[in-house]
Structure 1
């Protein structure tokens, strides 16, 4: 079973978009990498299902 991705990115509380640019970039980079891993997991599952369907 593929688990749902539950992490969310929230906008900063202050008036600007970024309050801690380095920390925000680090958090976004980590999040993007986790999303890429999840997409790859889904692609693997879809490919398995397609292979089962053909065979």
Structure 2
């Protein structure tokens, strides 16, 4: 994703928050949700990065 792109910052923020939860919580349900957020947002970041790259190439 292009550096500084608002959508990228939003998704990276979601990953950071979910990783913070993973570092602090031992509750299985909370950890599953946080893992899901990290995985989903990482996929979204990759997809948007590819689209932006294709658009600017």
TM-score range, shorter chain: 0.5 to 0.7
Matched length: 45
The structure with the greater share of residues assigned to helix is: 2
TM-score, structure 2 normalization: 0.61
Where structure 2 has 5 or more consecutive residues not aligned to the other structure, the ranges are none
TM-score, structure 1 normalization: 0.62
Runs of 4+ in 1 over 3 A off after TM superposition: none
Q: CA RMSD in A?
A: 1.8
Question: Which has the greater radius of gyration?
Answer: 1
Where structure 1 has 5 or more consecutive residues not aligned to the other structure, the ranges are 13-17, 51-55
